[in-house]
Amino acid sequence: MERVFQILAVILIGVAAYFLWSGHKDGVFVSAVLGAVCFFLSVRFQVKERLKTRKTTETTESPENNL
């Protein structure tokens, strides 16, 4: 899922650059904001997966600490 948001963020920033070049200020704003949102969603999914992986490795590595 994170890769989808990364690709979408790059596409939307490209669209924002096109709108900037063509002079459509509203299109620049909307596509840049959506690109930023997609970027931060991809970061969120990465962090969520890392935390999930860390939690499972901590519980499987040290079962004596859970007593």
**pLDDT truncated to tens, each residue of the chain (67 aa)?**
889 999 999 999 999 999 999 999 999 999 999 999 999 999 999 999 999 999 988 888 765 655 5
Which DSSP letter does residue 23 get?
A: T
* CA atoms within 13 Å, Cβ hemisphere of 66: 9
**pTM: predicted TM-score of the whole model, two decimal places:** 0.79
Rounded (10°) CA dihedral 50, 33, 10, 38 = 30
CA distances from 5 to 1, 11, 36, 47 (A): 7, 10, 10, 14
Q: For residue 34, what are the domain limits?
A: 2-55
The total number of structural domains in the chain stands at 1
60 domain-assigned:
no
26 domain-assigned:
yes
49 domain-assigned:
yes
Say which residues have a Cβ less than 8 Å from residue 20's Cβ, sequence separation at least 6.
28
